[in-house]
């Protein structure tokens, strides 16, 4: 196993299996053929063409589209087609900074191959030359990847919050990090990927932050999403990412990016350029 294997696990994608979902000219999703066949029955909601899918022509506003797709998804949920319902509206737009085209239930996002955004925090403790990293173990009750290792704080980007606001909120909920400390997090990078998972097609951009924590700080989970935290020497983190699949798939990418930025993976590594390109070369 190698660092590059972690990246390859995040680019499992077969173009021929999907049809673009377009709204106002922008490709906002990729829908597989099975879901396409289901959606074709909801003619009041969708127009299913040979090369693409879109909303029905009379659904011209974000609120009309959102109401309509909500009814369809509720019906599909009743038929057992949408699993892991979260009751959380997810904003769909042409890009992160663009206006919202409609909102949809978050659980359906990977089924529609819609791009999502999140924040991931590398929580580290420096002590002279030594560097340790706080590692979270995901709760056995999480819907995706229960029990896997994770960043100290990571979360999806919801509608209506700024990235920094979301970061501070997630820091409080997931690790009881006070706002004053959380605000010291430095934006450092983004990783992106497009890959097929059990839940559907994940097309994510994860914004990465480094947060140096004082040696005396102890994270404490408050929202039930984390089973526990451990403070690992960076060497142990390196081995776990390189040699095992103990980390959640996208958390591995965030750590490889960290290792490159801090000189723990050096340019004489034979995969150095492939790693750097692979972490964000692909459009999600």
Residues that bind a second copy (CB under 8 A): 95-97, 162-164, 186-190, 192, 205, 207, 260-263, 265-268, 270, 272-273, 276-277, 280-283
Taking the complex as a whole, the smallest distance from the CB of residue 101 to a second copy amounts, in Å, to 17
CB-CB contact of 36 with 53 (8 Å) = yes
Backbone angles phi, psi at 41, to 5 degrees: -75, -20
| Run of H or E including 37 | helix 33-39
Quick one: 110 or 118, whose CB is closer to a second copy? 118
Taking the complex as a whole, the smallest distance from the CB of residue 274 to a second copy amounts, in Å, to 9
Quick one: 65 or 132, whose CB is closer to a second copy? 132
Quick one: 244 or 283, whose CB is closer to a second copy? 283
Taking the complex as a whole, the smallest distance from the CB of residue 79 to a second copy amounts, in Å, to 36
Backbone angles phi, psi at 216, to 5 degrees: -80, -10
Quick one: 34 or 159, whose CB is closer to a second copy? 159
Taking the complex as a whole, the smallest distance from the CB of residue 127 to a second copy amounts, in Å, to 18
Q: Provide the 3-class DSSP secondary structure of residue 100.
A: strand
DSSP assigned state of 35: H
Taking the complex as a whole, the smallest distance from the CB of residue 228 to a second copy amounts, in Å, to 29
Q: Provide the 3-class DSSP secondary structure of residue 22.
A: strand
CB-CB contact of 91 with 69 (8 Å) = no
Tell me how far apart the alpha carbons of residues 105 and 117 are, in angstroms, rounded to a whole number. 15
Quick one: 11 or 33, whose CB is closer to a second copy? 11
Taking the complex as a whole, the smallest distance from the CB of residue 186 to a second copy amounts, in Å, to 4
Quick one: 71 or 187, whose CB is closer to a second copy? 187
With b for 16 or more beta-carbon neighbours within 10 A and e for fewer, the 200-235 pattern comes to bbbbbbbbbbbbebeeebebebeeebbbebebeebe
CB-CB contact of 248 with 149 (8 Å) = yes
């Amino acid at each position: 196993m190698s660092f590059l294997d972690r990246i390859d696990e995040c680019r499992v994608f077969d173009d021929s299996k999907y049809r673009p979902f377009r709204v106002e000219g922008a490709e906002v999703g990729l829908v597989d053929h099975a879901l396409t066949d289901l959606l074709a029955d909801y003619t009041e909601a969708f127009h299913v063409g040979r090369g693409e899918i879109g909303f029905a022509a009379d659904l011209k506003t974000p609120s009309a589209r959102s109401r309509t797709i909500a009814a369809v998804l509720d019906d599909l949920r009743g038929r057992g087609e949408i699993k892991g319902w979260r009751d959380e509206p997810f904003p769909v737009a042409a890009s992160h900074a663009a206006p919202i085209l409609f909102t949809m239930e978050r659980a359906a996002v990977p089924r529609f191959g819609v791009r999502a955004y999140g924040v991931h925090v590398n929580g580290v403790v420096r002590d002279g030359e030594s560097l340790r990293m706080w590692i979270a173990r995901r709760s056995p009750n999480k819907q995706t990847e229960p029990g896997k290792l994770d960043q100290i704080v990571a979360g999806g980007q919801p509608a209506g919050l700024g990235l920094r606001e979301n970061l501070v909120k997630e820091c409080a909920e997931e690790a009881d990090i006070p706002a004053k400390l959380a605000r010291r997090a430095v934006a450092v990078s983004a990783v992106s990927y497009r890959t097929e998972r059990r839940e559907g097609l994940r097309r994510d951009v994860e914004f990465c932050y480094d947060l140096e924590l004082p040696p005396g700080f102890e994270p404490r989970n408050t929202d039930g999403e984390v089973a526990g935290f451990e403070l690992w020497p960076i060497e142990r983190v390196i081995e776990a990412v390189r040699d095992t699949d103990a980390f959640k798939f996208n958390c591995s990418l965030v750590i490889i990016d960290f290792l490159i930025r801090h000189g723990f993976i050096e340019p004489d590594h034979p995969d150095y350029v492939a790693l750097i390109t692979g972490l964000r070369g692909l459009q999600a």
